[in-house]
Amino acid sequence: MATIQDVLTAALSHHQAGRLNEAQAGYRAVLDAVPGHPDAAHLLGVAHLQAGQPDEAERWIRTAIQSNRRAADYHDNLGSALKALGRLDEAVAAHRQAIRLRPDFAQALYNLGNALDALGRREEAVTAYRQAIARRPGYARARFNLGNALSALGRNEDAQAAFHAAIADDPAFVEAHANRGAALLALGRPVEADSALARALALRPDHPGALTNRTAALLAQGDGAAADAARRAVRANPANADAWLGLGEARQRANRLGDAARAYSTALALDPGLAEAWANLAVARQTQGLLTEAERGDRLALALRPDLATVRSNLAYLALFQPGASLAGALAAHRAWDAVHGAPLRASWPKPARRKADGPLTVGILSGDFRRHPAGQFAIRTVEALPAHGVRLFLYANQTEADDLTARFQAAAERWIPVGALSDAALAERIRADRPDILIDLAGHNARGRPGVFARKPVAVQVAWSGYMATTGLAAMDALVADHHHIPDGAEALYGERVLRMPDAFIAYDPPDGAPDLTPPPCQAGAPPTFGCFNILTKLNAGVLAAWAAILTRIPDARLLMKTKALSCPDTAALWRDRLAAAGIAPDRVTMVGATSNLEHMGWCASVDVALDPFPFAGSTTTLETLWMGVPVVTLPGETFSSRHSLAFLSVAGVEGCVASSVDDYVDKAVAWAQAPDRLAALRAGLRARMAAGPLCDGNRLAAALAPALRGLVG
């Protein structure tokens, strides 16, 4: 005849095999024979807990405790049942009682950490997880949850280390690989993140989080495999809004703007509260030139996530493109960023360090564009010349890419410091420790800008230069490098910074090596005049199109070339053909060209007779590239900094007859140039050499003016 112990042993065997119904029946048989049997009552409670019946679990485990209050396991499992019932404070108390009874009880410490984490008491949870790990070597699950708690606290470096330790304990721990990848991605280390996520996917190919984050890691590296990863993520889980978000980002990177917008819209249909999807949709629409839709997306993103500083930066930037843009409006839009993201940091600005009176001036420059990028091309010649004018350079590189221009920046720097993986707070601390006399910003509110670093005021004197075309709006920004073309006398009051006017232009252009040879204007050989615009679509508006239509009406056989990266997208090209037609410009008079290499782009610049500058946001790099090919750029400046680029460059290059005073004058000047082929030919023959020999490309001349101006800021 079976004894009570035999029945209990058989029930436990069923339990261990996962046969919960049979186990419960066995435990009940024991309790029928011996009411209150503590082990049977406890194990029956555990079986109910595992079956998803925490209320029954609590009842039976409490019965066991009434019979034996000294059993630590009973209190620990009671805590798990209470946690499942949502009674978290009681759960914490139960786990603590288990630990009091058995101080080395690693599982109870782990469960205590889980309960504390669920209560949002994450620092206490971290302590509990660490204690569990100390008591049980190889406790991978505790290391994993420690990593999760640290991630939630924003301590991503510590989190990835915890996940790495969990993987050392259990190399097949898929979630640890996946979460380590996410932490590395948050740290700005996409190559390492990709490796971790690839390992997770090797273990579980359909892991949704790893698929989605691998897309982001590949995108951050500019890897073409991102699109494939994004498609796999969507196929693995079509209901995952984050997967659609990643697919949209991959499509946008490939200039498939219409497809990207549809992916973001799908993400929002699945999760209307996904602020990142609204923000990304805004960028896609902005790139397509749809300003109203872009502004709407940014505002919806901020309504959901007011902390998204990059979105508010983009909203301030959009104000520069709006018809009727004014200096007062630009200042207000940029100060709105500072009011939300900068003002809370002012109380913690450090006391400025005193600079030694003698010795060279130490200047830090922070940029993500120490490369073939407009900001890099505008700054490189001056940066290379500054050391000869007594300036030590610390270059803080917020980038992973490198090219020939990067090598030149590195050669000019006394210190080259990669900072892409650092948070704003950590980067500010690093710069503060380096103690440069001045910190220069080359990005402002553009992509890769770090206004959150400058808002922390790590350096006593901070200066904006070259990479952003407006006031930064930051109370922490002391000065802005400009010239009298961009900021004429009397306009200073509508800038938040002190204006440092350079004698010519505020930049020195570095033309690309290997630019195509100069050729005569196409119209000189009898071809119909061709007008061209090489600017982003965001700069175009109804007023610009109306002016172009008037020009083409005046010259009935003239043609229009539009070239910009976004026109690689068929949806976007069709959109603008419709807009041009609505403005009175027939589609058969327009040629549209998308992305090409830089040298191919300059060949296209040479294929037009006259370039048409948009307004109120003028061309900058596009104007310089077009002028380098000998082509005049007709411009209509306004009062904003961003409306006056072409005015400045044309003036410094000595090109006359291109700066209009009104829309009618803009039309007249464009027509006049197109009808003067000999004048066009003369400009082409001499302009490049004049630019190369003049101040517009003279980095040493600009450095000779900039260095003492900077020195004057620090006394």
User: What was the pLDDT predicted at 247?
Assistant: 84
Tokens 């939630």 belong to residue: 152
- Stretch 460-482: mean pLDDT, rounded? 96
What is the CATH architecture assignment of 522-697? 3-Layer(aba) Sandwich (3.40)
State phi, psi for 479 to the nearest 5 degrees: -145, 160
State phi, psi for 590 to the nearest 5 degrees: -120, 135
Q: How far is CA 310 from CA 305, 452, 666, in A?
A: 11, 9, 35
Instruction: Tell me: pLDDT of 423 over 90.
Output: no
- The tokens for 85 are 């019932």
200-204, 290-294, 297-301: the lowest-pLDDT one: 200-204
Q: What is the dihedral of CA 575, 580, 585, 591, to 10 degrees?
A: -60
pLDDT band at 357 (very low <50, low <70, confident <90, very high): low
Are 579 and 560 a contacting pair, CB within 8 Å?
Answer: no
pLDDT tens digits, 370-383: 999 999 999 999 99
Alpha carbon distance 64, 74 (integer Å): 7
pLDDT band at 204 (very low <50, low <70, confident <90, very high): confident
34-48, 94-108, 296-310, 384-398: the lowest-pLDDT one: 34-48
Q: How far is CA 158 from CA 129, 146, 149, 224, in A?
A: 13, 9, 10, 31
Instruction: Tell me: pLDDT of 61 over 80.
Output: yes
- Stretch 87-113: mean pLDDT, rounded? 96
State phi, psi for 420 to the nearest 5 degrees: -60, -25
For the chain, where do the domains classified as CATH 3.40.50.11380 start and end? 346-502
Could you say which DSSP state residue 349 is in?
P
Alpha carbon distance 317, 469 (integer Å): 9
Name the CATH superfamily for 4-234.
Answer: Tetratricopeptide repeat domain (1.25.40.10)
Tokens 């991605």 belong to residue: 185
pLDDT band at 673 (very low <50, low <70, confident <90, very high): very high
- The tokens for 316 are 């301030």
User: What was the pLDDT predicted at 401?
Assistant: 83
pTM, entire model: 0.80
- The tokens for 683 are 């400009």
Q: What is the dihedral of CA 387, 393, 397, 402, to 10 degrees?
A: 20
Name the CATH superfamily for 238-306.
Answer: Tetratricopeptide repeat domain (1.25.40.10)
Beta strands in 166-293 (DSSP E): none
68-77, 189-198, 370-379: the lowest-pLDDT one: 189-198
Alpha carbon distance 714, 70 (integer Å): 71
- The tokens for 569 are 């997208």
Are 703 and 382 a contacting pair, CB within 8 Å?
Answer: yes
Instruction: Tell me: pLDDT of 355 over 70.
Output: no
User: What was the pLDDT predicted at 558?
Assistant: 98
pLDDT band at 602 (very low <50, low <70, confident <90, very high): very high
Task: Give the residue among 462, 411, 391 at the shortest CA–CA distance from 432.
Answer: 462
Alpha carbon distance 294, 280 (integer Å): 9
- Stretch 223-232: mean pLDDT, rounded? 76
User: What was the pLDDT predicted at 686?
Assistant: 96
Per the model's pLDDT, the better-predicted residue between 222 and 62 turns out to be 62
Task: Give the containing element (helix H, strand E) for 32.
Answer: helix 20-33
Residues 6+ apart with CB under 8 A from 201: 207, 210, 211, 214
For the chain, where do the domains classified as CATH 1.25.40.10 start and end? 4-234, 238-306
Are 461 and 478 a contacting pair, CB within 8 Å?
Answer: yes
Alpha carbon distance 72, 373 (integer Å): 65
Task: Give the residue among 325, 691, 317, 377 at the shortest CA–CA distance from 504.
Answer: 691
Instruction: Tell me: pLDDT of 354 over 70.
Output: no
Task: Give the residue among 646, 560, 552, 578 at the shortest CA–CA distance from 288.
Answer: 578
Buried b (16+ CB within 10 A) or exposed e, 566-586: bbbbeebbebbbebbeebebe
pLDDT band at 356 (very low <50, low <70, confident <90, very high): low
**Helix runs in 555-635, H state only:** 570-582, 598-606, 621-628
Average pLDDT over the chain reads 93
Residues 6+ apart with CB under 8 A from 562: 532, 533, 576, 590, 591, 592, 593
What is the CATH architecture assignment of 346-502? 3-Layer(aba) Sandwich (3.40)
pLDDT tens digits, 629-659: 999 999 999 999 999 999 999 999 999 999 9
Cα 158 to its chain centre, rounded Å, is: 23
Task: Give the containing element (helix H, strand E) for 362.
Answer: strand 361-367
- The tokens for 289 are 């030139």
Alpha carbon distance 358, 449 (integer Å): 32
User: What was the pLDDT predicted at 201?
Assistant: 86
**Helix runs in 319-423, H state only:** 327-337, 374-385, 404-412
User: What was the pLDDT predicted at 223?
Assistant: 67
Alpha carbon distance 217, 226 (integer Å): 8
DSSP sequence for 52-94? T-HHHHHHHHHHHHHH-TT-HHHHHHHHHHHHHTT-HHHHHHH
pLDDT band at 493 (very low <50, low <70, confident <90, very high): very high
User: What was the pLDDT predicted at 497?
Assistant: 97
19-28, 240-249, 506-515, 551-560: the lowest-pLDDT one: 240-249
In this structure, the number of other CB atoms found within 10 A of the CB of residue 635 comes to: 26
- Stretch 550-567: mean pLDDT, rounded? 98
Tokens 């505008």 belong to residue: 378
Instruction: Tell me: pLDDT of 233 over 70.
Output: yes
Instruction: Tell me: pLDDT of 1 over 60.
Output: no
Is 510 strand, coil or helix? coil
Residues 6+ apart with CB under 8 A from 159: 147, 148, 150, 151, 179, 183
Tokens 């839709």 belong to residue: 293
State phi, psi for 105 to the nearest 5 degrees: -80, 90
Q: pLDDT > 90: what percent of the chain?
A: 79
State phi, psi for 508 to the nearest 5 degrees: -125, 120
- The tokens for 708 are 């003492």
Are 298 and 282 a contacting pair, CB within 8 Å?
Answer: yes
112-121, 224-233, 268-277: the lowest-pLDDT one: 224-233
Alpha carbon distance 653, 590 (integer Å): 30
Q: pLDDT > 70: what percent of the chain?
A: 99
Q: How far is CA 270 from CA 66, 230, 243, 250, 308, in A?
A: 49, 17, 11, 19, 21
